[in-house]
Amino acid sequence: MEYWSIEGGRPLGGTAKIHGAKNAVLPIMAASLLVDRAVLYRCPVLTDVDAAARILRALGCTVTRCGETLTVLNTEGVCCETLPEEPAREMRSSILFLGALLARCGRARLSFPGGCELGPRPIDLHLMGLARLGAEIREDGGFLDCRVNGRLRGTQIALPFPSVGATENLLLAAATAEGETIVTNAAREPEVTALAEFLNTCGADIVCDGDRIRVRGVGELHGCAFAIPPDRIEAATYLCAAAATGGEIRVEGVCPAHLAAVLPFFEEMGCRLDVGEDTIELAAPRCLSGVGCVRTMPYPGFPTDAQAPLMAALCRSEGSTLFIETIFSARYRHVGELLRMGACISTDGRTALVRGVGRLHGAGVACTDLRGGAALVVAALAAEGETRLCETHHIERGYSDFVPLLSALGAEITILRQEEPHFV
């Protein structure tokens, strides 16, 4: 069994170059089903991207990678409308192939998506929206069987909640639908905008105007080359790691505007920030201060994906911080592991109160999900002594080259193998 050994207590220092965003590349890979050729630059090396590539291959595409450039060729046309179960169950974004397949083939069959366990993650808004565009959706023994008679037809769709995935699925389905689609209370995340930009580069006619998106359906789309935008959550995680260790780092190739709701918290914690066009420099004090209250919200609010790493950084601080998780109902699974490291956190439903402590200590801990796993790495880097972290496959779903990059920033982190786990 693989695990990571982290010797904490060293301030991080140096430069971290940010990769393309996982949550942007996955919907764009689904969108590549709509064109004959897509060349994606800055495509991160992640197990979720591998899973999406496996799905595309099973559907008849040729997917090749050269470094951070991924090419999807779809010249033979999609040969299958059923998503392969195993990769589909591995990740939540497999649901996005539904909108793309319905638009491309008028038919799709898939099992319910997997992904991080953050509490119930229904897909009712996806299905409601696609049905409004004319899809007939039938549940058949754990599978969704969907089809369209003729083309999807544009219409007005008001989302009760600005779901990222549902908005993206509607863009994928409406881009080549007949007529105009208006989505209101749509998600505004930069990853949604990136998908609209990719589709527009392929000849679509989409206008994102705050939480209102207008899509004029076009007859067909053409191939393109597209650069995946930087991963704002990866950048936030490195900034949390530097803050937690009293370090000084520079993140490069980032879009600071995408972190407008996050950066003020670092200043409130006592860090000094220097923000450039595509760089952020952070210098942390020896001891961080609590920041009162962090409420996660849809974009442009504080991102739920940065909640766990920020919580880990604030475990060792003066004062307390209240977290209110408004997006997912069970996104504190990392708290139990942080308590093993000497943190002082009490949770009650969607709130968590972090009372800062003077020191954390190393322990045997297990990743519970992607961002929870990253949080344990942040805490381990700040802790005294060794932490042994297992179930690290969760982290590899969303952080490219995490261990070598942290080592380059001065962290003492090693990937080890052990026959039998006996430390958790």
Residues near ligand EPZ (CB under 6 A): 22-23, 26, 92-93, 116, 121-126, 161, 163-166, 187, 191, 304-305, 327-328, 370-371, 398
**Quick one: 237 or 317, whose CB is closer to ligand EPZ?**
237
Task: Please choose, from the candidates 114, 68, 9, the residue with its C-alpha nearest in 3D space to the C-alpha of residue 230.
Answer: 68
**Quick one: 169 or 176, whose CB is closer to ligand EPZ?**
169
Neighbours of 392 (CB within 10 A): 20
Reduce the DSSP state of residue 255 to 3 states and report it.
Answer: coil
The C-alpha atoms of residue 205 and residue 215 are separated, in whole angstroms, by 6
For residue 388, the cross-strand partners are 5, 364
> Smallest gap, in angstroms, from Cβ of residue 127 to ligand EPZ?
7
DSSP 297: -
> Smallest gap, in angstroms, from Cβ of residue 329 to ligand EPZ?
7
> Smallest gap, in angstroms, from Cβ of residue 66 to ligand EPZ?
24
**Quick one: 166 or 383, whose CB is closer to ligand EPZ?**
166
**Quick one: 118 or 175, whose CB is closer to ligand EPZ?**
118
**Quick one: 187 or 215, whose CB is closer to ligand EPZ?**
187
Task: Please choose, from the candidates 235, 240, 199, 236, the residue with its C-alpha nearest in 3D space to the C-alpha of residue 220.
Answer: 199
The answer to whether residues 282 and 238 touch, using CB atoms and an 8 Å cutoff, is no
The C-alpha atoms of residue 359 and residue 342 are separated, in whole angstroms, by 8
Range list of β-strands (E), 266-411? 272-275, 279-283, 288-289, 292-295, 317-318, 320-324, 344-348, 351-355, 364-366, 386-390
**Quick one: 22 or 258, whose CB is closer to ligand EPZ?**
22
The C-alpha atoms of residue 41 and residue 70 are separated, in whole angstroms, by 7
> Smallest gap, in angstroms, from Cβ of residue 19 to ligand EPZ?
13
> Smallest gap, in angstroms, from Cβ of residue 370 to ligand EPZ?
5
> Smallest gap, in angstroms, from Cβ of residue 304 to ligand EPZ?
5
| Residue 57 vs residues 50, 52, 103: alpha-carbon distances, Å | 10, 9, 18
Q: Is the peptide bond before 300 cis (omega within 30 degrees of 0)?
A: yes
Neighbours of 322 (CB within 10 A): 14
* Six token digits for residue 232: 């704002």
Backbone angles phi, psi at 360, to 5 degrees: -115, 155
**Quick one: 126 or 250, whose CB is closer to ligand EPZ?**
126
Please identify the residue of the shown chain whose CB is closest to the bound ligand EPZ: 165
Task: Please choose, from the candidates 162, 133, 126, 164, the residue with its C-alpha nearest in 3D space to the C-alpha of residue 150.
Answer: 133
Classify strands 272-275 and 279-283 as parallel, antiparallel or unpaired.
antiparallel
> Smallest gap, in angstroms, from Cβ of residue 179 to ligand EPZ?
24
Active-site positions? 116
